[in-house]
Every structure is written in structure tokens, then in C-alpha cells.
Chain A
Amino acid sequence: MESKPNYAQIYKSKSFRHLMHKKKRFLLPLTLFFLVFYFMLPVLTSYTDVLNKPALGPISWAWVFAFGQFVMTWTLCVMYSRKSRDWDRDIKRIREQAGREEA
């Protein structure tokens, strides 16, 4: 029981490959998305005036974009939580399989 799990074997296993593939497909595009979305605000405010135009009465697009960053952060947080519950099920399965092979 105390012996180390066989990492090489788990690494090569189909279920682990599958988990890594799913994580990558979620994390990579969304990380790129939030970085681009985040840097759009300082880039637009530093190099242009487009965000100074009014959006809702006295509230300009710069503030709307700034609030958008909060909404984006919370939304991506919730998405990650939901998605990772699915990964947790995979992890549980991988751990069980590893335990069986060890025994």
C-alpha cells in the first residue's frame, strides 16, 4: 500500500491522456481569452479615445468595459468550477485504477 504509484504507467494510461486533453482544451483558449480581454482595456485607453464616448448617459464605455472585466472574472470562475467537477470524476477513476494495479 505504501509503495509509490506507478507514475509512468498512469501517465501513459488512456484515462489520464483523456483528462489532460480535456483540461488543455478548456484552459488554453480561455486563458488566452481572459489575457486578451484584460489587456484590451489599457491598450484601448492608452492609444485611443474610443472608450471615452458615452455609453449610458454620463457612464462612458471605459467604465462599461471595466465592469465587464468583473463580470468576465466571475463568469470564468464559475465556468472553471463547473468544468473541474467533471475532471474530479476522472481523477477519482484514475486514482482507483492506480490503487488496483498497485495491489
Chain B
Amino acid sequence: MNMTAFTLFLAIVAMTLVITYFASKKTNSTSEFYTGGGGLTGWQNGLAIAGDYMSAASFLGIAGSIALAGFDGFFYSIGFLVAYLVVLYLIAEPLRNLGKYTMADMIAARFDEKKIRGVAALNTITISTFYMIAQLVGAGSLIKLLLGLDAYTSIVIVGVLMTVYVVFGGMTATSWVQITKAVLLMVGTFIISMIVFAKFDFSLYNMFMHMKTATPLGDAFLNPGNKYKVPLDTLSLNLALVLGTAGLPHILIRFFTVKDARTARSSVVYATWIIGIFYIMTIFLGFGAAAFVGADAIIAQDKGGNLAAPLLAQALGGDFLFAFISAVAFATILAVVTGLVLSAASAFAHDFYGHIVRKGQATEKEQLNAARWASVAVSALSIVLSLFALKMNVAFLVSLAFAVAASANLPVLLFTIFWRRFNTAGAITGMFTGLLSALLLVALSPSVWGPEGKAIFVGEALFPLTNPGIISIPLGFLGAIIGTLLTSRPDFKRYTEVTVKANTGL
């Protein structure tokens, strides 16, 4: 075991527990639990959004993809960033004006049927759980490699920590863990990028010139087409990336932590700057790893390339930088899973328990207890599922989460704000079609069916694309449209009310 790494891991755990201790003193009401009291400033929330968003998949996965596949790995960086324009232009301000604690609140502002809340909460829990399993399994294998702890122990440690943050510190602790992590991640990435850039005399020309011959791919490294050879699959992936973010529940709940729509807007703007700068730096991480670690050495440690960034840190800065970057990766996973637990628990406690089971009659104390117990239950469930999923290839879970978010949530969110004729039946059919088609297509895809060792089951995939977005996203929109047109009773009065609220915050 690397003692420096171990000490830094402990320091991060200690720091986050101190944050949680102070946050727990403030967390006495549901509003504080779900939104931290709504008192974050624009830049704080912007950093927290960035922290929530730059997951291990971004930091470790993209660096590895660029190192191994060159340009194609960079598609993720672009899609993840441009997605914020969809959030800023179409979703952020209306969401903050209409909602209170969860995504379902916003849809329920227009349609108050309990069924809607139920389906929306189901979507949130599905997306968050898939996303969380992927992160936890990633955490398991990462900590195993970095600290030598076995993967089961690692998952349980991360799982217990995330539960403690949420149960005791609610949104306040979650936000500050994310802010801390965002700062650490930006600093770590910046240091590595600058060392890499210095090796090429701070010249992009030199760097690109060197990359033409530095990898086994040769010239092709710098061109698209190494990883994505099926055009429809590339488009499908890009569609899910750019539209998925605006439907991710753990990102959407971050807009309830600020006081008004204006601050929600400024937090997206701050987040976009931070995330954009980070994703530009993924080029240095990827190129650096390809040049100074080498594809063979990266694959030898992890087939997916997930350790490219830590290995690069070791090659450039020795054991201390390696330990620091590993600790940053650990903080990244902690922060992201914490946000996911909170979003799933909010949907369960606020929407299912508060509005459906107790019909809005529960006392403040009962609701707060329900939220805490829901967090424990969600965490326990994800830990158990992750232990079972440990031996599976779970990379598809993240793309599934994005596809479900884009297919099931986004159409209904957009129509709720912008379509006058939209009604309850449309909202329900839209959410169901999006959810079911995305799940079904992934179940039939090459991520699940493939030759031995490549997927979960051995066999021929019935659906040829690894990402279902190009079919399931249009189906989500179509479901919402058809459901609406086949039924009557649009409530225009309610629409005028929602439009005024969404645009003015009245």
C-alpha cells in the first residue's frame, strides 16, 4: 500500500466528515435537508453543479478514452459541455420558478395528479440507481488498485460514507462535499495539464505533431473514427449526451439550492465555465497518458483505460502526485454518489411518502425522518446491487442513465413549460414510453449481448446500437404527443398560470 495515498485518502474523509458535522447542526427541517435552505450563491452552486457533474466517468473515463482512441474520446467532453446550453436556455429558470424540492414538483405544478408524481419519482429512482451502481463498481475497482483493499471492502466504505453525509448533513453537506471536490479536481487536473504542456514547450503545434507518431494508432490517433465506426451509434451517443444532462435528477435538484431563477441562471453560467475548462484539459490528460505512459501500460492496469490519469500522474510527478490524483479520484466518486443518494431519497421521501402515501399531511418531523430513512434504504440497496454487479461490465449503466434521462424526463419537462395543449395523460405516456423503450433497447443491445467476455450474456444482440438514444428519445417525445392528442381536456387556465410562474417567478 502506498502510505502517502492512504494518508491523503484519510485526510479527504476527515475533511468531508467535518463538513458533515457542521452541516448536521443546520439540518433540522425538510427544506434544509432537500435544498440546504436554498441559500447558496451563484458561484457556490456553480461549483457544486460542476462537482456533481464531473464524475469518475469524466475524470478517469474520458482521459482513458482519449489516451486509447484519440479524437473519439473527446466526443464525450464536447457533448457533456454543450448539454449545459440545453439546461441554461430551456430548463434552469423555469425549473427553479416552478419546483421546490424535486423534478416531480415542477411537473406537478401543472398537473397535480398523484400518478404523475409517482411516475416521475420512479424515473428519478431508476436513473439515480443505475448511475450509482456504475460509480460504486468503479470505486471498488479503483480503490482496489490504488490502496490494495479488496473491491467489496471499498464499496462498503464508500457506501457507508455517502450514507453518513446525506443522513446527517442533507443537501448542505452534499453541496460542500461537491464544492470541495470540484476545487481539488480542478487543481489536480490543472497541475497535470501544465506539466504535460511544459513537456511540449507550451506549444499545441509540438504536442499535436508528437501525437502523430506517439501511439500505436499512428496518424489515425488524431482523426475521428477509431472508437465509433457505426455512424448511427455515434449520433445516438451524441444525442443522449447533449439532451441527457437536462433530465438528470441529481443535476436538476441543484437548482433548488439557490434563492431564485436569476441565481439558478448564474450558477449554470459559472458551472459551464468550470466544466468547459475542465473538459479542455482532458486533452492534456489523454494525450499525456498516451505519450508518457503508453497504451500498453494503460491497458495492462485496466482494460477500459480508467487508470490513465493516475498513471500519468505517477509518470510525471512520482508517488506524491500519483497519491494526490488518486485521492482526488476518490473524492470525485464520494461527491457524485452522495448527490445521487440525495436525489433518489428526495424522490422517494418527498414524492412517494409525502405526497402519495401521506397525501401532504405528514408533519415536518415525520417528513424529515422519512427522508433520512429513505437515504439509508437507497444507499443500502445500491451497495447490495453493486456487490452483485462487481464482476459485470457496467459502463453501459451510465449511458443508460443518460438515455433514460433524455428519453423519459426531458420531453415531459419541455412540454410542461412550452406546450399549451399538453395534458396529464401525455405526461404519463411520455415518461413511460421513454423509460421502457430505453430500458428495453439497452437490454437487447450489444452492451448486454455479445461474444464471451464482451458483455453480460453471450449471444447475438437484437438491437445493433450500444446507445438507445436515437430511437428512445424520439419515442419519448412521440409518446407524450400521442398521449396528449388521443385524450382531451387540456387545462388552458392552468397553462397560463404555469407560464406566468415559470417566466416571472410570481
Residues of A within 8 A of B (CB): 5, 7-8, 10-11, 16, 19-20, 23, 27, 30-31, 34-35, 38-39, 41-43, 45-47, 51-52, 56-60, 62-63, 66, 69-70, 72-74, 76-78, 80-81, 84, 88, 91, 94-95, 98
Describe A's contact surface by its main secondary structure.
Answer: helix
The reply to whether A45 and B225 contact each other, CB–CB distance below 8 Å, is: yes
Q: Does B45 contact A (CB under 8 A)?
A: no
Note all chain A residues with C-beta closer than 8 A to B231.
46-47
The reply to whether B71 and A58 contact each other, CB–CB distance below 8 Å, is: no
Q: Does B156 contact A (CB under 8 A)?
A: no
The reply to whether B269 and A81 contact each other, CB–CB distance below 8 Å, is: yes
Least CB distance from A2 to B in Å reads 13
Of A8, A20, A43, A73, the residue contacting B235 (CB under 8 A) is A43
A42 and B235 in contact (CB under 8 A), knowing A8-B496, A31-B89, A60-B222?
yes
Closest 4 CB pairs of A and B: A46-B231, A45-B224, A58-B208, A11-B496
The reply to whether B503 and A7 contact each other, CB–CB distance below 8 Å, is: no
* Nearest-neighbor residue (CB-CB) of B238 within chain A: A42
Q: For chain B, which range describes its interface: under 10, 10 to 19, 20 to 34, or 35 or more residues? A: 35 or more
A10 and B224 in contact (CB under 8 A), knowing A41-B78, A80-B89?
no
B251-289: contact bitstring with A at CB < 8 Å (1 yes, 0 no)? Answer: 000000000001001101100110010011000000000
- A and B contact pairs by CB, cutoff 8 A, 20 listed: A7-B500, A11-B497, A20-B499, A23-B503, A31-B86, A38-B78, A38-B242, A39-B239, A42-B234, A42-B238, A45-B225, A46-B234, A58-B205, A59-B204, A59-B205, A60-B222, A66-B74, A80-B88, A84-B93, A94-B504
Note all chain B residues with C-beta closer than 8 A to A10.
500, 504, 506
A81 and B279 in contact (CB under 8 A), knowing A42-B238, A46-B234?
no
Report which residue of B74, B78, B269, B499 has the largest number of chain A beta carbons within 10 angstroms of its beta carbon: B78
The reply to whether B82 and A59 contact each other, CB–CB distance below 8 Å, is: no
A20 and B506 in contact (CB under 8 A), knowing A38-B82, A73-B81, A81-B265?
no
The reply to whether B262 and A88 contact each other, CB–CB distance below 8 Å, is: yes
Of B265, B272, B273, the residue contacting A84 (CB under 8 A) is B265
Least CB distance from B78 to A in Å reads 5
Q: Does B176 contact A (CB under 8 A)?
A: no
B51-93: contact bitstring with A at CB < 8 Å (1 yes, 0 no)? Answer: 0000000000000000000010011001101101110111001
A23 to B504 Cα, complex, angstroms: 12
The reply to whether B205 and A77 contact each other, CB–CB distance below 8 Å, is: no
A103 to B504 Cα, complex, angstroms: 19
Note all chain A residues with C-beta closer than 8 A to B493.
8
